[in-house]
Structures are given as C-alpha cells and as structure tokens.
Structure 1
Amino acid sequence: MNYKHNISYLDYNATTPIDPRVLDAMLPFLKENFANPSSTHHFGKTINEAIKSARTQVADLIGATDKEIIFTSGSTEAINIALKGVAENYSEKGKHIITVSTEHKAVLDTCNYLENRGYEVTYLSVQKNGLIDLEELKKSLRSDTILVCVMFVNNETGVIQPIQEIALLTHEVGALFMTDATQAIGKIDINAGKIGIDILCLSGHKMYAPKGIGALYVKKGIKLPAYTHGGGHENGLRSGTLNVPSIIALGRACEIAEQEIQQDAERIVSLRNELENELLKIPDTFVNGSTENRIHNVSNICFKGFDANVLIGRMKNVAVSNGSACTSAIVEPSYVLTAMGLSDDDAFASIRFSLGKFNTKEEIKLVVKIVSELIKTSFRYA
C-alpha cells in the first residue's frame, strides 16, 4: 500500500489503515443514508436493518449471536463496561478478580480503580516467554473469584495465552472468563462459545476499520448493569445514538476478515519471518517472548546496547514502536518486557515490528536495510 511520505508502516498493532472496501461500505452512511436507526419512519428502519446486518457480521466472526454483541467506541470502553459491570453485578458471590501483570493499561487501570473501591485483584506473573503459569492460576482461583481477565494476544510481543485452558479452570470455580481480544480478532480463528469465553472485547481500528468503534461480546445469560443511561440502546447497556457509519465499517471489516483470515496469515507470517531472520543476523539481537505461541504478524526484537527511542527517531521513513510508556517528560521501560524478566536496558533497547496485509516484500527489504545500516552507524550504550 502506498502511504503518504513514502513511509514503511510496520506499526499495525498500534492502528491499521482502513481497508478501501471498508471505506466504500461506510461512505453511503456518511452521505445519503444518514437517518437515525432508532427513528420509527421507513428511512430509520432501513438504517436499523443495516445495523442488524453489521451486528451479525461481527457475531459471525467470533461464533456468537447478534444479540450477544454490544457496539462500543472501542476496546477501552468495552473493557470498562465489562470489568465494572461484573464487579457490580456479581459482588454477592465475591469481590476477587484475577488478571495478568502484562495486560493492556485499560485493564490494569480499571482493576486499580476497582481495588480502590474494595475489590481484591490478583495480578498473575508471566514467565520469560510471556506466558502465564497455569499452576499459578490454579492456586490463585478461589470460591469468591468472580472474574478472570486474560489478554488473548499481547499487544507488544504477540504472545498467545492458552485461552481455552484458562477458561476451563476459571469455570471450575464458577467464575466468568473475559478476554481482551483486540490483537487477535481478524488474525486468528476464534469461536467464543467453543473456547469458553464469556466476555470478549475488540476494536475496529486494529482490523482495518475506523477508529472510535469497537464491540463487546457478552455471552447470553450474563447480566451487566447499564454503563450509560439515556434511552436503553444496546440491550440497555450503552445508551446513545449509534455511530452508524463506523458500525457498518466494522461489520464489513469482520466479514472481510472471516473470508481472508487464512490467506492473510500465510502471507504476513512469511514477511514477518523474512524480516526477523534478517534482523537477527545483527550481533546481540534476540526475540522477546515465545516464538512458538505467537501471533503471525509481530516480532519484538531487542537490539542489545542500543536506545530504541534514538533508533526509532532516526528511522525517518519507517514507522515502528518501542512499546515504552511515555508520560510527560518521564520515559519508562515497557512494563510488559520487564515483567518477562528483561532488564530496563534491554527493554529500552527493544523494538516492536507489527505487520499487516498491506505490507510488501520490497517494504520488508527496505526496512531491513535501514535498520541494519542504522545499527552500524549508531552508538552502542552498553
């Protein structure tokens, strides 16, 4: 895909470009199909039917029913609705929640919010490969555990957790299992019912749809309180006029993903492996996290002794990420990588390359050349 300013974009885990087919599906609902889907006139009912179709497209991708899909502004909102909702509605069973130290900040910050309101949260550690220890999970589960929340695919390393096994253990104590599947949706096959997922969150802009749209899967029978009041939209969970164009776009993106998921995976993993194999020829480099249990589009590489911020700053025509959390003038090493046992220096030296379906072989060769030459001419700090 041709990007403005000739940028080689390898930051798909941060956000994706909109698929032209998704944009084509969306545009009519920004122009002539502008009616409010809640209106009772024929025009409004026509838009409502389009919303229903989009809801079904999202549901089909994850093996759900349309009634189990709630549209949100993205995964962060979906995570907040789910975590706070379960905490409120299931507090009679208990106030214990289990999650993982390498979850997205949307989960960790919401759990911290709940801790300040009397809930107890257990944060599971991860092993050097980024995977949790199932034995630690077993020991942490209690009769008053109401929810286990584990990310499907880590956004920084691409590590895939053993979701089905985690769900099984969770259900043995009568708790609900929730997963942030933001980095998994559209990349790997997911059947929520078969895997044992009770609640699932996803974002459109990670799968070639626009920013500002996402969805929450809530398995039939699970009751959550209203998160936003004012009209009873989205099964009473999230009131407010629906973001029709973006919902249509998300539905189309899910439909495309269901049709092309296998061919995309095969092509992208080939590009990722080519990139990784060439970059690992650079002395003192290694991959962070499991290479066996990993999504096909991510390679998180440590360039030992170098400052990733400096390297990225000098890659004027390459878009990648270092995974560091920057708050004002304070720069911290990736908490995901340090949780896996990396030193601060090695975490600071790590770069995430995340690929997508618009990347090309020529682009990969160019990035390898740019990074390799940059390493040769840069100062090694350690």
Structure 2
Amino acid sequence: MMRPLKEIPVSQLMIGSVLAQPVTLPNGVKLLEAGTELTEGYIKKIRKMGIKTVVVIDEQEEKPQRPRPAVQVHDRSEPVQKVYHTLSHLANSDKVRGWMSVVIEARFVHVFESILEELVRHEFLLGQLADVYVKDPFLFDHSINVAVLSGMLGTVKQYDRHKLYELVFGAFLFDCGMLDVPAELIKRNRPLTPEEKKVLEYHTAAGYNKLVKREDVPKRSALCALQHHERYNGSGYPHKLKKGEIHEYAQIVAIADVYHAMISPRYHRKPYTPAEASEYLAAAGNYFFDLELVKLFLTHISIYPVASKVMLSNGQIGVVSSVHSGLAHRPVVTVIQEADGSVVPFPYKVDLQENLDVVIVNRLSG
C-alpha cells in the first residue's frame, strides 16, 4: 500500500515530520535521505540551502494521533496568538528599548530580533508559553521579562549568536516547571508549609525533565530550568551547587529572575523599587550571585527604563529621557513638576550623572 505523501512549503515544516523523498540540492548532491525524521537542525539546514518545498509523509494518516496537551489546541488558539504577537513585537518594543543602555542597543536588537524570528516558529516553545499564560498571566509576563534581561546580560558578556540563542531559549522556559504546581499554591499569600515548599521547589526538576528529553531544545538551555534557584554560596536548590558548578546561563537567569520578581507586584506583597532591588543584588554579589555578573547587570541594564516617571530626592518629578551606558542608575531626567507641586511650563533636563547630589527615590505609575 502506497503511503500518503504531501508536498509542503519549507516554511510549514514541523519537527518530527518524515521525508517521503530525498532532499536534493540543485547541483544534484543529496542533502537528506528519504525516511529522515526532521529535527530543528535539519529544518534550519533545508531553509539555509534555499529549498522551497519538500515531500513528506502525510502524518495525519500515517502516524497515530499523539496524546493531547493539557490545554487543547482549539482552546489555546487565543493564548498561542498572544505569545506569537508578544514575541514577534518584542525586539522593538518599549519594554526592550526601555531596559537598554546605549552600549547594549548597538549589538543587541538585531541579534535578538533574529532569534525571536526563529523562536516564533518553535511549536513547543510557543505551546509552553501559551500554557504558562493560561495558568498565570503574571508568570507569563515574568518569563518574557526574564528572557529580555538575560539576553541583554548575555550580550554584555559578548555571547555569539549560538550561545545567545541557547540562553534566551532557556530563559523563556526557565519556569515551565511551574505548570505542574497547583495554581492556589502559586498565589498563596502566606508562608508555605514544609510540604508546600517541597512541592514548589520541585518545579526546577520538573521543568528540566520536560526540556532535556526533547531534541528541539538545546541541552544547556534546559539547565536554566534546573539551576535557576541554585546560589553561589551553595544555599540554593535542588542540588546545593556552588560557584562554578552552576552553569553561567542559569546564573544569568537567576539574576534576571530575582531582579524582575522584586520590582513586580506579587500576590503577597507590593513591588520593591528598582533602587531597592539593585541594592539587594549588589549586596548579594559573591554570596548568592557571581559578583562580576551582578556588576555587569547593574552597569549596563537600565533600572529606570526610558519613559519611566520618577520622583527625585529634591522633590521634583520627571520622566527618564535617556540612559547612560556606564551609570544606568543615573539617567537623564526631564523635569515636569517642581518640588512645590507646580507644573513646569517648559520641561528641562537634569543629568543625574552630573548632579550627584540628586538621586531617584521612587518610580511612579502613570
């Protein structure tokens, strides 16, 4: 019996599809044999060679139906679209532009954008993020921000594109193990019992086990899920690793995770100010986190994004208009309200790098 075949555009190839005919280059060289099961790497190679269509076995008739995901495909079409839209517009969003210092911007945006173009075609990653969004929109927003901040720190570390891809991929899904944690436990606003704490802490291993067995997930990316709660002094979990025993990707994600978690509202507390979160990271250098990574984070990533409304120590209110590359916590602020409450008719700029007697004391809403 002849197996059902289907010729499809390369842009629609899915990981796990099986070639029904060989993939041959224009010069006659055979790139892949018939019967090859396509991995992410093979699909990249086919695209790179400029091949437009390939013939695959019609999976709907040839292969048995896979177990359905926890959230049905038709039920999660809206969440998937939410994830797709978020990732598609992330590289040039105000969120990204706001975090960047001048040094990062020159090298980061182009590479990050090309990585996102690849990730929006990654079915597993989109599905996991969609499930996170359905379970807890806050957790989804947190994962997006952690990925952005991690990618920026990787750029400061001068990672090449391959390493930056692995880091960003791992950062997007570092908390995917939280999908196995009961929602009421995540939102609980009281101290956890020892039993509840054990359930919560298992999300690191659960996430790693989910990621490491997949061929379309870089193995080092999976370590972000496993090790992002390990700490430099060995006090973390699940394996109490120390210093260099913790992969650098996971150390970067841990810093981004803690920083963004602190400046965000949680179910049990109000957010800390960026200055308070920065002070915490600085004090935790070579204790919870590698000091050099903390220094790079605080030096190159803006804790007061452009367009943030802030209050200065002299009582003035202004809007952050630009951020210095070396002193991200001392941006240029456009003053819009004087200390006595009067509105400034002609807003003017104050460079906090030159006015050292003035500091930002609070970030305001609106």
Is the helix fraction higher in 1 or 2? 2
Scaled by the length of structure 2, the TM-score of the pair is 0.24
Structure whose CA Rg is larger: 2
Scaled by the length of structure 1, the TM-score of the pair is 0.23
